Amino acid sequence: MIAPQPFFRSRGTPFSVLHRARALLLSGHSVDLLTYPFGETVPLDGLNIIRSRKPPLIRDVQIGPSTAKIFLDIPLYFAARRQLKRKKYDVIHSHEEAAFFSVGLAARHKIKHVYDMHSSLPQQLENFGRFNFAPVRHLFERLESYVLNTCHGVITICADLADTVDSLGVRIPHSMIENTADDSKVFPSQEVDVVGKFSLHNKKVVLYTGTFEAYQGLDLLVDAFQSVLTRLGNAHLLMVGGSPPQVEAMRERVTELGIDESVSFSGTVPSYEIQSYLKAADVIASPRSSGTNTPLKLYGYMRSGVPLVATDKYTHTQTLDASVAHLVPATAAGMAKGILKLLEDREYASRLARNAVKKADELYSDRAYLLKVNQFYSNVFRSAGEYQSTDEECSRTHA
């Protein structure tokens, strides 16, 4: 398995990589994970993490496309070449842009290549506003199409990406496997006194968790919260995540709005503490303003029993509907109205939360996730006559 990001980090794609590996290990496979020279270890028995060499002067890498990623992907490629010479593998399971060089490596070593498509890479350029030039987008579009037409199987994580693959008419095993795995299976929850830590006694807590990238719509959220405070003076916005520079920039924003005493920032917290933050919340807000991929965190939100307000964008509505979340226009006024609705109408808010838990149990359980990964791999090998049953476990090795 080749993952071109820091592993492990408490954010979307590394969680997805983690649970793909966990599913394969639980199915009897062995997994060598080749990844960047940054990240934390994880308590996952059987996972062998191999880190590529660190280029000079690069100490870390931000989310999304960047020059640093180019310099990190070069040693990652050569590390993959070395590993394939040392050991015989049955599959290269590539994530994101690692698919571009995995095509050639899989062909050279006559092994299968599975592409884990977490996003449309040309769309990433637009979402992050980096390298967003027509020639670059066109190059990425051609590379993405090439990968999809040469790999032996593709996993997508949401309906939008599944539609993209289907529109190309590719004739390979394809499965949409939402990132619904239960993080607590790897990171058992540890209680943290969130209420005491942030002085939230007698407060109505609105919680945001996630990255602080522009597409998350955080400006929309803090503008909305300013309006919320004019009606509910005991409301408090707790924002979890973000790099130190991003947090500082957001602090300046809330100070300008005059709401700094009613907004707290935790910075990035360990995965095993997230449940404590969810329990401290009266409302969870997902203000995402652009993009089409379903946020991985939505599935944890649905399991939490806390009512959710989310923008009425396809990034949310391909998973959420009005029975499980309060969907609002992607405006500050819409978000403010939605937050107030859930804080003031607790019977309605409780009904949404109960419905969300029920839907998560029925459609997005950890067991269902593991089964989907196993069935996908059985289809990949069956297509070549190498797998006998969807329920049969095998001991193949995966790069």
Radius of gyration of the chain (CA): 21
- The 10s digit of each residue's pLDDT in 279-318 is 999 999 999 998 888 999 999 999 999 999 999 999 999 9
| Selection from 39, 22, 347, 285 nearest residue 177 by Cα | 22
As a whole number of angstroms, the distance between CA 372 and CA 325 comes to: 25
Q: Are 236 and 172 found together in one domain?
A: no
Do the domain assignments include residue 187? no
Q: Which tokens belong to 356?
A: 């969300």
Residue 242 falls in which region: left (phi positive, over 0), alpha (psi -120 to 50) or beta = left
Do the domain assignments include residue 189? no
Q: Which tokens belong to 228?
A: 């919320």
389: confidence class by pLDDT, cuts 50, 70, 90: very low
**Measured between alpha carbons, how far is residue 318 from residues 163, 211, 247, 334, 387 in Å?**
12, 21, 30, 20, 32
Q: Are 389 and 354 found together in one domain?
A: no
Do the domain assignments include residue 188? no
Q: Quote the pLDDT of residue 137.
A: 75
Give the CATH number of the domain where residue 178 resides.
3.40.50.2000
Q: Quote the pLDDT of residue 132.
A: 63
Consecutive H or E run containing 156: strand 153-156
Q: Are 132 and 175 found together in one domain?
A: yes
| Selection from 294, 334, 293, 326 nearest residue 307 by Cα | 326
Percent of the chain, pLDDT > 90?
77
Task: Judge whether residue 244 has pLDDT over 50.
Answer: yes
Q: Which tokens belong to 239?
A: 């924002």
Q: Are 345 and 388 found together in one domain?
A: no
Q: Are 348 and 375 found together in one domain?
A: no
Q: Are 113 and 59 found together in one domain?
A: yes
Q: Are 152 and 216 found together in one domain?
A: no
Task: Judge whether residue 98 has pLDDT over 90.
Answer: yes
Q: Are 388 and 356 found together in one domain?
A: no
Task: Judge whether residue 15 has pLDDT over 50.
Answer: yes
Q: Are 23 and 62 found together in one domain?
A: yes
Do the domain assignments include residue 58? yes
Q: How many domains does the chain have?
A: 2
Percent of the chain, pLDDT > 70?
93
Range(s) of the domain holding residue 51: 2-182+365-398
Q: Are 356 and 369 found together in one domain?
A: no
- Mean of the pLDDT values across residues 199-223? 96
Q: Are 370 and 380 found together in one domain?
A: yes
As a whole number of angstroms, the distance between CA 335 and CA 316 comes to: 14
- Mean of the pLDDT values across residues 206-221? 95
Q: Kindly report the pTM of this predicted structure.
A: 0.82
Q: Are 241 and 255 found together in one domain?
A: yes
- The 10s digit of each residue's pLDDT in 108-133 is 999 999 999 998 876 666 656 566 66
